[in-house]
A and B are shown apart, each in its own frame.
Chain A
Amino acid sequence: MTSRRFSDVEFGEDLPPLTPDTSIPNVTTFVKAAGMLNERFTDHEAARKQGLPGAIVPGIMSQAVMASMIHHWAPEAQVEKIDTVFRAPVLVGHPHTVTGVVTDMDDDAHTVEIDLTLENEAGETRVLGTATVRLP
Protein backbone atom coordinates (compact mmCIF):
# COMPACT_ATOMS: atom_id res chain seq x y z
CA MET A 1 0.00 0.00 0.00
CA THR A 2 1.33 3.39 -0.99
CA SER A 3 0.23 6.86 -0.02
CA ARG A 4 -2.11 8.44 -2.53
CA ARG A 5 -2.70 12.15 -2.80
CA PHE A 6 -5.55 14.02 -4.47
CA SER A 7 -3.16 15.22 -7.16
CA ASP A 8 -2.35 11.58 -8.03
CA VAL A 9 -5.98 10.76 -8.86
CA GLU A 10 -7.71 10.99 -12.23
CA PHE A 11 -11.38 10.99 -13.16
CA GLY A 12 -12.24 7.47 -14.31
CA GLU A 13 -9.44 5.80 -12.32
CA ASP A 14 -10.23 2.23 -11.30
CA LEU A 15 -9.48 1.17 -7.75
CA PRO A 16 -7.88 -2.27 -7.41
CA PRO A 17 -10.80 -4.69 -6.93
CA LEU A 18 -11.20 -6.60 -3.70
CA THR A 19 -12.41 -10.15 -3.22
CA PRO A 20 -14.02 -10.25 0.21
CA ASP A 21 -13.94 -13.31 2.44
CA THR A 22 -17.64 -14.21 2.66
CA SER A 23 -17.09 -17.57 4.35
CA ILE A 24 -19.31 -18.53 7.30
CA PRO A 25 -16.41 -18.28 9.80
CA ASN A 26 -15.49 -14.77 8.63
CA VAL A 27 -19.10 -13.55 8.56
CA THR A 28 -19.59 -15.07 12.03
CA THR A 29 -16.57 -13.14 13.30
CA PHE A 30 -18.00 -9.95 11.81
CA VAL A 31 -21.52 -10.29 13.22
CA LYS A 32 -20.13 -11.17 16.66
CA ALA A 33 -17.98 -8.03 16.59
CA ALA A 34 -20.90 -5.97 15.36
CA GLY A 35 -23.21 -7.37 18.03
CA MET A 36 -25.77 -8.53 15.51
CA LEU A 37 -25.74 -12.31 15.83
CA ASN A 38 -28.56 -13.76 13.79
CA GLU A 39 -28.72 -17.18 12.16
CA ARG A 40 -29.72 -15.63 8.86
CA PHE A 41 -26.08 -14.52 8.54
CA THR A 42 -24.37 -17.67 9.69
CA ASP A 43 -26.58 -20.70 8.97
CA HIS A 44 -27.85 -21.52 5.46
CA GLU A 45 -30.67 -23.77 6.68
CA ALA A 46 -31.93 -21.24 9.22
CA ALA A 47 -31.79 -18.50 6.58
CA ARG A 48 -33.82 -20.62 4.15
CA LYS A 49 -36.46 -21.09 6.84
CA GLN A 50 -36.70 -17.27 6.92
CA GLY A 51 -37.41 -17.26 3.18
CA LEU A 52 -33.90 -16.32 2.08
CA PRO A 53 -31.96 -18.23 -0.59
CA GLY A 54 -29.26 -18.98 2.00
CA ALA A 55 -27.24 -17.18 4.65
CA ILE A 56 -26.62 -13.56 3.64
CA VAL A 57 -23.78 -11.17 4.28
CA PRO A 58 -25.08 -8.32 6.46
CA GLY A 59 -25.43 -4.94 4.75
CA ILE A 60 -22.93 -3.25 7.03
CA MET A 61 -20.36 -5.91 6.18
CA SER A 62 -20.81 -5.15 2.48
CA GLN A 63 -20.25 -1.49 3.30
CA ALA A 64 -17.22 -2.43 5.38
CA VAL A 65 -15.55 -4.32 2.53
CA MET A 66 -16.22 -1.34 0.27
CA ALA A 67 -14.48 0.92 2.79
CA SER A 68 -11.67 -1.61 3.04
CA MET A 69 -11.16 -1.49 -0.73
CA ILE A 70 -10.89 2.30 -0.57
CA HIS A 71 -8.29 2.10 2.18
CA HIS A 72 -6.26 -0.49 0.30
CA TRP A 73 -6.18 2.01 -2.57
CA ALA A 74 -5.55 5.10 -0.46
CA PRO A 75 -4.52 4.25 3.12
CA GLU A 76 -4.67 7.88 4.24
CA ALA A 77 -8.11 8.56 2.77
CA GLN A 78 -10.87 9.78 5.01
CA VAL A 79 -14.09 8.06 3.96
CA GLU A 80 -16.63 10.79 4.62
CA LYS A 81 -19.69 8.95 3.36
CA ILE A 82 -20.70 5.57 1.97
CA ASP A 83 -24.16 5.55 0.46
CA THR A 84 -25.39 2.16 -0.72
CA VAL A 85 -28.40 0.70 -2.48
CA PHE A 86 -29.00 -3.00 -1.76
CA ARG A 87 -30.31 -4.64 -4.93
CA ALA A 88 -30.10 -8.34 -4.06
CA PRO A 89 -28.77 -10.53 -1.25
CA VAL A 90 -25.03 -11.14 -1.01
CA LEU A 91 -24.85 -14.86 -0.32
CA VAL A 92 -22.46 -16.21 2.27
CA GLY A 93 -19.84 -18.54 0.84
CA HIS A 94 -20.20 -17.31 -2.74
CA PRO A 95 -17.38 -15.49 -4.53
CA HIS A 96 -17.97 -11.75 -4.88
CA THR A 97 -15.91 -8.83 -6.11
CA VAL A 98 -15.99 -5.23 -4.97
CA THR A 99 -15.00 -2.63 -7.53
CA GLY A 100 -14.64 1.12 -7.39
CA VAL A 101 -14.00 3.88 -9.87
CA VAL A 102 -13.53 7.62 -9.48
CA THR A 103 -16.50 9.43 -11.01
CA ASP A 104 -16.24 12.95 -9.62
CA MET A 105 -13.51 15.19 -8.22
CA ASP A 106 -13.78 18.36 -6.18
CA ASP A 107 -10.54 20.31 -6.60
CA ASP A 108 -11.36 22.76 -3.81
CA ALA A 109 -12.37 20.23 -1.16
CA HIS A 110 -9.82 17.60 -2.23
CA THR A 111 -12.59 15.03 -2.26
CA VAL A 112 -13.41 12.38 -4.84
CA GLU A 113 -16.60 10.48 -5.44
CA ILE A 114 -16.22 6.77 -6.04
CA ASP A 115 -18.80 4.49 -7.65
CA LEU A 116 -18.96 1.25 -5.70
CA THR A 117 -20.26 -2.08 -6.98
CA LEU A 118 -20.39 -5.46 -5.31
CA GLU A 119 -20.98 -8.20 -7.87
CA ASN A 120 -21.33 -11.96 -7.68
CA GLU A 121 -19.43 -14.31 -9.97
CA ALA A 122 -22.14 -14.01 -12.65
CA GLY A 123 -21.37 -10.29 -12.86
CA GLU A 124 -24.71 -9.37 -11.28
CA THR A 125 -24.77 -6.23 -9.17
CA ARG A 126 -25.89 -7.08 -5.64
CA VAL A 127 -24.97 -3.79 -3.95
CA LEU A 128 -24.16 -0.45 -5.55
CA GLY A 129 -23.44 2.96 -4.21
CA THR A 130 -21.05 5.82 -3.92
CA ALA A 131 -18.44 7.01 -1.46
CA THR A 132 -17.18 10.49 -0.81
CA VAL A 133 -13.51 10.35 0.10
CA ARG A 134 -11.14 13.11 1.21
CA LEU A 135 -7.51 12.75 0.16
CA PRO A 136 -4.42 14.62 1.36
Chain B
Amino acid sequence: MILDLHAHSVKSDDGRAKVRNYCQWIRKKEIGIDGFVLTEHRQFDRESDYGPLAAEFDLAILKASEVETEYGHVLVFGVREPLTHALDFADIRLPLARVLEESDRHGAIAVPCHPGRTRVGMCAHVEALGVPTGVRILEVLNGGSRGREDQAAQELASAQGWLGIGGSDAHIVSHIGRCATRFPGPIADEGDLVEALRAEEFEAISWKSTT
Protein backbone atom coordinates (compact mmCIF):
# COMPACT_ATOMS: atom_id res chain seq x y z
CA MET B 1 0.00 0.00 0.00
CA ILE B 2 1.33 3.42 -0.90
CA LEU B 3 0.45 6.45 1.20
CA ASP B 4 1.47 10.07 0.84
CA LEU B 5 2.29 10.71 4.49
CA HIS B 6 2.46 14.50 4.37
CA ALA B 7 -0.28 16.73 2.96
CA HIS B 8 -2.09 19.90 4.01
CA SER B 9 -5.62 21.01 3.31
CA VAL B 10 -7.31 24.39 3.70
CA LYS B 11 -7.35 23.61 7.44
CA SER B 12 -3.67 24.66 7.50
CA ASP B 13 -2.95 28.38 7.34
CA ASP B 14 -0.85 27.98 4.19
CA GLY B 15 -2.86 25.11 2.69
CA ARG B 16 -4.94 25.87 -0.38
CA ALA B 17 -6.32 22.43 -1.24
CA LYS B 18 -9.78 21.05 -0.54
CA VAL B 19 -9.71 17.38 0.40
CA ARG B 20 -12.37 16.46 -2.18
CA ASN B 21 -10.18 18.01 -4.89
CA TYR B 22 -7.18 15.93 -3.73
CA CYS B 23 -9.34 12.83 -4.21
CA GLN B 24 -10.62 13.95 -7.62
CA TRP B 25 -7.07 14.76 -8.72
CA ILE B 26 -5.66 11.40 -7.62
CA ARG B 27 -8.33 9.52 -9.56
CA LYS B 28 -8.37 11.79 -12.63
CA LYS B 29 -4.58 11.80 -13.00
CA GLU B 30 -4.20 8.17 -11.88
CA ILE B 31 -1.65 9.13 -9.22
CA GLY B 32 -0.11 5.92 -7.91
CA ILE B 33 -1.07 6.26 -4.26
CA ASP B 34 -3.75 4.50 -2.26
CA GLY B 35 -4.35 7.38 0.10
CA PHE B 36 -2.85 10.27 1.99
CA VAL B 37 -2.40 11.63 5.47
CA LEU B 38 -3.50 15.16 6.35
CA THR B 39 -0.85 16.66 8.60
CA GLU B 40 -2.29 20.06 9.43
CA HIS B 41 0.06 22.65 10.90
CA ARG B 42 0.07 23.14 14.69
CA GLN B 43 -3.26 21.42 15.29
CA PHE B 44 -5.09 18.15 15.20
CA ASP B 45 -8.28 18.30 13.16
CA ARG B 46 -10.73 16.44 15.38
CA GLU B 47 -13.88 17.59 13.60
CA SER B 48 -13.51 16.59 9.96
CA ASP B 49 -14.96 13.25 8.95
CA TYR B 50 -13.43 12.15 5.67
CA GLY B 51 -15.04 8.69 5.82
CA PRO B 52 -17.62 9.41 3.10
CA LEU B 53 -14.98 10.89 0.76
CA ALA B 54 -12.66 7.94 1.40
CA ALA B 55 -15.47 5.55 0.50
CA GLU B 56 -16.55 7.53 -2.57
CA PHE B 57 -13.03 7.58 -4.03
CA ASP B 58 -11.77 4.33 -2.54
CA LEU B 59 -8.84 6.08 -0.88
CA ALA B 60 -7.43 5.99 2.64
CA ILE B 61 -7.68 9.47 4.15
CA LEU B 62 -5.98 9.61 7.52
CA LYS B 63 -5.37 12.46 9.95
CA ALA B 64 -2.15 13.45 11.73
CA SER B 65 -0.37 16.69 12.69
CA GLU B 66 2.72 18.73 11.96
CA VAL B 67 4.10 20.41 15.08
CA GLU B 68 7.07 22.72 15.57
CA THR B 69 10.13 22.13 17.76
CA GLU B 70 13.59 23.56 18.33
CA TYR B 71 14.80 21.02 15.74
CA GLY B 72 12.24 22.11 13.14
CA HIS B 73 8.95 20.61 12.10
CA VAL B 74 7.79 17.15 13.15
CA LEU B 75 4.97 14.96 11.85
CA VAL B 76 2.99 13.15 14.53
CA PHE B 77 1.09 10.06 13.39
CA GLY B 78 -1.55 8.31 15.49
CA VAL B 79 -2.76 11.37 17.38
CA ARG B 80 -5.57 10.69 19.81
CA GLU B 81 -7.36 12.99 22.23
CA PRO B 82 -5.07 12.46 25.28
CA LEU B 83 -1.98 13.45 23.29
CA THR B 84 -3.59 16.77 22.37
CA HIS B 85 -3.91 17.47 26.11
CA ALA B 86 -0.36 16.38 26.88
CA LEU B 87 1.16 18.65 24.19
CA ASP B 88 0.16 22.14 23.13
CA PHE B 89 0.14 21.59 19.37
CA ALA B 90 -0.04 25.34 18.74
CA ASP B 91 3.24 25.97 20.62
CA ILE B 92 5.94 26.75 18.03
CA ARG B 93 8.76 25.94 20.47
CA LEU B 94 7.89 22.45 21.64
CA PRO B 95 10.93 20.52 22.84
CA LEU B 96 11.56 17.67 20.40
CA ALA B 97 12.42 15.29 23.27
CA ARG B 98 8.97 15.92 24.77
CA VAL B 99 7.20 15.44 21.44
CA LEU B 100 8.97 12.10 20.97
CA GLU B 101 8.33 10.99 24.55
CA GLU B 102 4.67 12.01 24.74
CA SER B 103 3.98 10.57 21.30
CA ASP B 104 5.45 7.25 22.41
CA ARG B 105 3.51 7.33 25.66
CA HIS B 106 0.22 7.97 23.86
CA GLY B 107 0.57 5.39 21.12
CA ALA B 108 1.69 7.83 18.45
CA ILE B 109 4.94 8.19 16.56
CA ALA B 110 6.87 11.40 15.80
CA VAL B 111 8.86 11.85 12.59
CA PRO B 112 10.91 15.00 11.89
CA CYS B 113 10.06 16.27 8.42
CA HIS B 114 11.88 18.14 5.64
CA PRO B 115 15.08 17.94 7.74
CA GLY B 116 17.20 19.45 5.00
CA ARG B 117 15.23 22.68 4.86
CA THR B 118 16.65 25.92 6.21
CA ARG B 119 15.34 26.92 9.67
CA VAL B 120 12.41 24.50 9.79
CA GLY B 121 14.45 21.31 9.27
CA MET B 122 16.56 19.28 11.67
CA CYS B 123 19.90 19.41 9.77
CA ALA B 124 20.19 23.16 10.34
CA HIS B 125 20.00 22.64 14.11
CA VAL B 126 22.10 19.52 14.65
CA GLU B 127 25.39 21.41 14.71
CA ALA B 128 24.24 23.75 17.47
CA LEU B 129 22.03 21.36 19.43
CA GLY B 130 23.60 17.97 18.74
CA VAL B 131 21.95 14.87 17.32
CA PRO B 132 18.70 14.27 19.22
CA THR B 133 18.04 10.95 20.87
CA GLY B 134 14.83 9.03 20.41
CA VAL B 135 14.37 9.64 16.69
CA ARG B 136 13.82 6.44 14.70
CA ILE B 137 12.37 7.73 11.46
CA LEU B 138 13.04 10.80 9.34
CA GLU B 139 11.23 12.18 6.32
CA VAL B 140 13.90 11.69 3.65
CA LEU B 141 11.83 12.51 0.56
CA ASN B 142 9.70 15.64 0.58
CA GLY B 143 7.81 16.89 -2.45
CA GLY B 144 8.69 20.49 -1.68
CA SER B 145 12.43 20.01 -1.26
CA ARG B 146 14.85 22.20 -3.16
CA GLY B 147 18.50 21.73 -4.08
CA ARG B 148 20.28 19.25 -1.80
CA GLU B 149 17.61 19.19 0.90
CA ASP B 150 16.54 15.58 0.39
CA GLN B 151 20.15 14.49 0.01
CA ALA B 152 21.04 16.13 3.33
CA ALA B 153 18.09 14.36 4.95
CA GLN B 154 19.17 11.00 3.54
CA GLU B 155 22.75 11.52 4.68
CA LEU B 156 21.62 12.33 8.22
CA ALA B 157 19.29 9.32 8.34
CA SER B 158 21.97 7.05 6.96
CA ALA B 159 24.61 8.32 9.41
CA GLN B 160 22.28 7.76 12.35
CA GLY B 161 20.76 4.47 11.18
CA TRP B 162 17.29 6.01 10.98
CA LEU B 163 14.60 4.87 8.58
CA GLY B 164 13.07 7.14 5.96
CA ILE B 165 9.57 8.00 4.85
CA GLY B 166 8.31 10.12 1.97
CA GLY B 167 5.54 12.66 1.67
CA SER B 168 4.55 15.32 -0.84
CA ASP B 169 4.07 18.15 1.67
CA ALA B 170 1.35 19.21 -0.76
CA HIS B 171 -0.32 22.54 -0.10
CA ILE B 172 -2.11 22.70 -3.44
CA VAL B 173 -4.08 19.96 -5.13
CA SER B 174 -1.74 19.19 -8.00
CA HIS B 175 1.23 18.51 -5.70
CA ILE B 176 -0.31 15.49 -3.95
CA GLY B 177 1.59 12.24 -4.36
CA ARG B 178 4.91 13.69 -5.48
CA CYS B 179 6.54 11.60 -2.77
CA ALA B 180 5.06 8.80 -0.71
CA THR B 181 5.81 5.72 1.39
CA ARG B 182 5.27 2.10 0.38
CA PHE B 183 4.13 -0.36 3.05
CA PRO B 184 3.97 -4.14 2.65
CA GLY B 185 0.39 -4.51 3.92
CA PRO B 186 -2.91 -2.64 4.01
CA ILE B 187 -3.44 0.39 6.25
CA ALA B 188 -7.03 1.24 7.08
CA ASP B 189 -6.67 3.74 9.89
CA GLU B 190 -4.26 5.75 12.01
CA GLY B 191 -3.65 2.81 14.36
CA ASP B 192 -2.60 0.61 11.44
CA LEU B 193 -0.27 3.37 10.28
CA VAL B 194 1.51 3.61 13.64
CA GLU B 195 1.83 -0.17 13.73
CA ALA B 196 3.24 -0.22 10.20
CA LEU B 197 5.77 2.49 11.03
CA ARG B 198 6.82 0.66 14.19
CA ALA B 199 7.24 -2.52 12.17
CA GLU B 200 9.97 -0.63 10.29
CA GLU B 201 9.13 -2.21 6.94
CA PHE B 202 8.55 0.61 4.50
CA GLU B 203 10.35 2.60 1.89
CA ALA B 204 10.22 6.20 0.74
CA ILE B 205 9.43 6.73 -2.93
CA SER B 206 9.39 9.78 -5.21
CA TRP B 207 7.71 10.75 -8.44
CA LYS B 208 9.07 14.26 -8.44
CA SER B 209 9.87 15.53 -11.91
CA THR B 210 12.99 17.60 -11.52
CA THR B 211 15.51 18.23 -14.21
Q: Interface of A with B (CB < 8 Å)?
A: 11-12, 83, 85, 87-88, 101, 103-104, 113, 115-117, 121-125, 128-130
Contact = CB atoms under 8 A, between A and B. Distances in A.
Given A11-B28, A103-B24, A130-B172, 9 more contacts: A88-B146, A101-B174, A104-B173, A117-B172, A117-B174, A117-B175, A122-B211, A123-B211, A130-B16
A101 B25 CA distance: 11
B174 A123 contact: no
Contacts, number: 56
A123 B209 contact: yes
B24 A11 contact: yes
A121 B211 contact: yes
Contacts of A123: 208-211
Nearest to B13: A85
Nearest to B10: A130
A85 B171 contact: yes
Contact of A12 (B14, B16, B17, B29): B29
B130 interface: no
Chain A at the B interface: SS class: strand
Interface range, B side: 20 to 34
Interface string B173-190: 111000000000000000
29 contacts: A83-B16, A87-B146, A88-B146, A101-B174, A103-B24, A103-B25, A103-B172, A104-B18, A104-B173, A113-B21, A115-B16, A115-B172, A115-B174, A116-B172, A121-B211, A122-B146, A122-B147, A122-B210, A123-B208, A123-B209, A123-B210, A124-B146, A125-B144, A125-B175, A128-B16, A128-B171, A129-B16, A129-B172, A130-B16
Interface of B: 14, 16-18, 21, 24-25, 28-29, 144, 146-147, 171-175, 208-211
Contact of B25 (A12, A116, A121): A12
Contacts of A104: 18, 21, 173
A85 B210 CA distance: 20
A130 B172 CA distance: 8
A85 B28 contact: no
A128 B171 CA distance: 8
A119 B191 CA distance: 37
A85 B14 contact: yes
Contacts of A11: 24, 28
A85 B8 CA distance: 13
Nearest to B143: A125
A80 to B, nearest CB: 15
Contacts of A85: 14, 16, 171
